[in-house]
Amino acid sequence: MALELDHVFILVEPGAPVADLLLAHGFKEGTGNRHPGQGTANRRFYFANGMLEFLWVHDAAEAMNGPGRELRFADRTQSSTASPFGVILLSPDPTNLEMPFPGWTYQPDYFAPPTAFQVGANSSDLAQPLCFCAPFIKPRAARSKSADTNAQVMTQVRIHTPARDHSGVLKVVNQVDRLAVELGHEHLMEITLNGNELDYRVDFRPDLPLIIHGLS
């Protein structure tokens, strides 16, 4: 099954104060929301062809006991060795509900059945990024642009993880255009904008495990 990258997220501290770092570099922030039953909330930055989401746990009890408990968001935020990253993929054919990788179905409270996520089996390994497929989401090209959209194009997203995947999920993820997950000595996300035409980067570490290439 051919998959497309919809967006990526980074787990952060409540309220996502680190998102202000992007505002300082001229990014436009979109609207945020909460995820009932999942215990999380977000701040979002939309691009011409994707989104960067800052996600945090606002209700630990809900995160640990609700339908999203197997995602272990609360555990991930409390562990210094857990991956803070997630990728959300979609299928160009929303009628194809075949599971694209080994995994399980997550039916969140904020979607009416049978609208549900497909979650990679590597979710049980906190050191690996969470991998979702949302076959119900329309391809981004078919959606109208938001007034909150930044003009930049996400050319490439590269996620580094010190963990090896034995489930086969990341092998599938690495076939997705504009996305790569590879071994590294630390958890790090690199986003390239506009093909890095300006050959300039901003490293947000140690505040945030993020490097953005192509900033002016």
This prediction has a pTM of 0.94
pLDDT at residue 148 in the model:
78
Query: Which of 148 and 79 is assigned the larger pLDDT?
Result: 79
Predicted confidence (pLDDT) at residue 139 exceeds the cutoff of 90: no
Q: What is the CATH number of the domain that holds 25?
A: 3.10.180.10
Q: Do residues 94 and 136 lie in contact, with contact meaning Cβ atoms separated by under 8 Å?
A: yes
Q: Report the sign of the C-alpha dihedral through residues 191, 196, 198, 199, in that order.
A: positive
pLDDT at residue 142 in the model:
54
Nearest to 165 by CA among 212, 101, 69: 101
**Strand locations in 26-185, DSSP E?**
34-35, 40-47, 50-57, 85-90, 103-106, 117-120, 130-133, 154-161, 179-183
- Each residue of 106-133: pLDDT tens digit? 999 999 998 999 999 999 999 999 999 9
Mean pLDDT calculated for residue range 152-175: 95
Mean pLDDT calculated for residue range 14-26: 97
Quote the tokens at residue 81. 């060795």
Residue with tokens 């209700």: 59
CA end-to-end distance (rounded Å), the chain: 37
Number of domains, the chain: 1
Mean pLDDT calculated for residue range 156-185: 96
Mean pLDDT calculated for residue range 199-216: 92
Q: How many C-beta neighbours within 10 Å does residue 199 have?
A: 8
Domain housing 106? 4-213
